[in-house]
């Protein structure tokens, strides 16, 4: 018998990076299913484009950096970055949108900082913000839920729109986006924001077709699906509860406050929680282990910052949704949060 004298930590987890990343990817399945159901198979095409590009970019950079390609690719982190970005871009966006975003995310936001574990900012969200700033038109052309759409779009149409920008019958993305009533439709949050600037009240805006159910047609189910996936992640212990709870809690608090003070110009908490990318952001984006805060107290603060920024930008900023901006801004605060939220080690007094 021998006694090991290795320094701490003595109790090691069993999961490796590859398993963790694969589990996160698996947990997005309900969300993907909901998106495909409401917005068509374009979502899948975008995801495939993004994942392929992410893998190729990662391999190319690793080759340049003279690192072992196959072991690093097997950690699935590039796959996850591609997947998350693919989920964020509009289903019928042209193919080069995904390619540019992913190349920027993997090459600049991740590998130039030193690869997985060294990046300051969430790669997928850096790619998303680059796209949103560079191509605002293409990035805000979200498709209409298939049930409200005027045109029946076949799979070959989707492929054709993504790769040639027109369908087989010559329609563009904007033509497809016409609803049964003949008007183009934006996302619920976008509509709400536009209507508020046009002088309508929240009540008048939410009386529209797309709010026929409780938080925007289709979007509430997408959010519930991501919530289910997130709860699965919590259950298998890939993420801790602190960040999602803090994000949702602070968003709920802010939106409730706004709604109670001035219900005519602030969306209801339900809309804020179950529309846009709230659940996706809270469970899958903000919980990125590399760029989020480390300690439990720090995670709570990090989440609260994201939720508050999310509400502020949604209501008073220039963009209808703000997961990417809120997460990136909160990423910047992480070094300070980590510095001040260091847990006291056992046996020492808290100072």
Partner 1 sequence: MNQYAELTWQGLWKNNPGLVQLLGLCPLLAVTSTLTNALGMAIATIVVMVCSNATVSLIRQWIPKEIRIPIFVMIIAGFVTCVQLLINAYAYGLYLSLGIFLPLIVTNCIIIGRAEAYASKNDLLPSAYDGLIMGIGFGVILLLLGAVREILGQGTLFSGAEILLGDWAKSLTIHLIDFDQSFLFIMLPPGAFVALGFILAIKNSVNSRVEALIEPPVEIEKPQRVRINKVS
Residues that bind partner 1 (CB under 8 A): 2, 4-7, 100, 108, 130, 133-138, 165
- Nearer of residues 9 and 182 to partner 1, judged by Cβ: 9
Closest approach of partner 1 to the CB of residue 111, in Å = 12
225: Cβ–Cβ under 8 A, 6 or more apart, which residues?
30, 31, 33, 34
Closest approach of partner 1 to the CB of residue 53, in Å = 17
- Counting every residue written for the chain, the total comes to 351
Closest approach of partner 1 to the CB of residue 136, in Å = 8
DSSP 111: G
- Nearer of residues 26 and 100 to partner 1, judged by Cβ: 100
Question: Following DSSP, what letter does each residue of 165-221 receive, concatenated?
Answer: SS-TTS--HHHHTBBTTS-B---HHHHHHHHHHTT--HHHHHTSGGGSSSSSTTHHH
- Cβ neighbourhood burial of 9 (10 Å; 0-12, 13-18, 19+): exposed
Question: Following DSSP, what letter does each residue of 242-255 receive, concatenated?
Answer: HHHHHHHHHHHHHH
Closest approach of partner 1 to the CB of residue 135, in Å = 6
204: Cβ–Cβ under 8 A, 6 or more apart, which residues?
195
- Nearer of residues 137 and 261 to partner 1, judged by Cβ: 137
- Nearer of residues 135 and 283 to partner 1, judged by Cβ: 135
- Nearer of residues 128 and 217 to partner 1, judged by Cβ: 128
Closest approach of partner 1 to the CB of residue 108, in Å = 7
- Nearer of residues 136 and 203 to partner 1, judged by Cβ: 136
Closest approach of partner 1 to the CB of residue 251, in Å = 28
CA–CA separation, 304 and 30 (whole Å) = 26
């Amino acid at each position: 018998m021998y006694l090991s004298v290795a320094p701490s930590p003595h109790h090691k987890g069993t999961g490796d990076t590859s398993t963790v990343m694969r589990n996160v990817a698996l947990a997005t399945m309900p969300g993907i299913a909901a998106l495909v159901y409401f917005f068509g198979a374009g979502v899948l095409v975008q995801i495939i484009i993004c994942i392929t590009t992410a893998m190729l970019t990662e391999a190319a950079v690793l080759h340049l950096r003279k690192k072992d390609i196959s072991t690093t690719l097997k950690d699935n982190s590039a796959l996850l970055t591609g997947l998350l970005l693919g989920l964020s871009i509009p289903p019928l966006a042209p193919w080069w949108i995904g390619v540019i975003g992913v190349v920027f995310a993997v090459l600049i936001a991740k590998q130039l900082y030193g690869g997985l574990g060294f990046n300051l900012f969430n790669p997928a969200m850096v790619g998303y913000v680059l796209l949103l700033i560079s191509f605002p038109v293409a990035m805000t052309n979200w498709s209409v839920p298939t049930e409200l759409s005027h045109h029946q779009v076949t799979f070959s149409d989707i492929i054709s729109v993504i790769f040639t920008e027109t369908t087989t019958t010559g329609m563009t993305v904007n033509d497809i986006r016409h609803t049964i009533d003949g008007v183009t439709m934006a996302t619920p949050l976008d509509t709400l924001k536009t209507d508020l600037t046009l002088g309508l009240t929240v009540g008048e805006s939410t009386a529209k077709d797309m709010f026929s159910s409780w938080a925007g047609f289709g979007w509430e189910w997408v959010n519930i699906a991501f919530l289910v996936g997130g709860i699965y992640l919590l259950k298998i212990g890939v993420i801790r509860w602190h960040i999602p709870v803090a994000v949702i809690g602070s968003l709920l608090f802010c939106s409730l406050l706004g709604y109670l003070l001035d219900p005519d110009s602030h969306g209801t908490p339900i809309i804020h929680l179950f529309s846009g990318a709230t659940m996706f952001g809270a469970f899958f984006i903000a919980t990125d282990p590399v760029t989020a805060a480390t300690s439990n107290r720090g995670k709570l603060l990090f989440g609260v910052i994201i939720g508050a920024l999310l509400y502020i930008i949604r209501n008073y900023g220039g963009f209808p949704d703000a997961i990417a901006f809120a997460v990136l801004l909160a990423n910047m605060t992480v070094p300070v949060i980590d510095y001040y939220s260091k847990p006291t080690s056992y046996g020492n007094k808290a100072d």
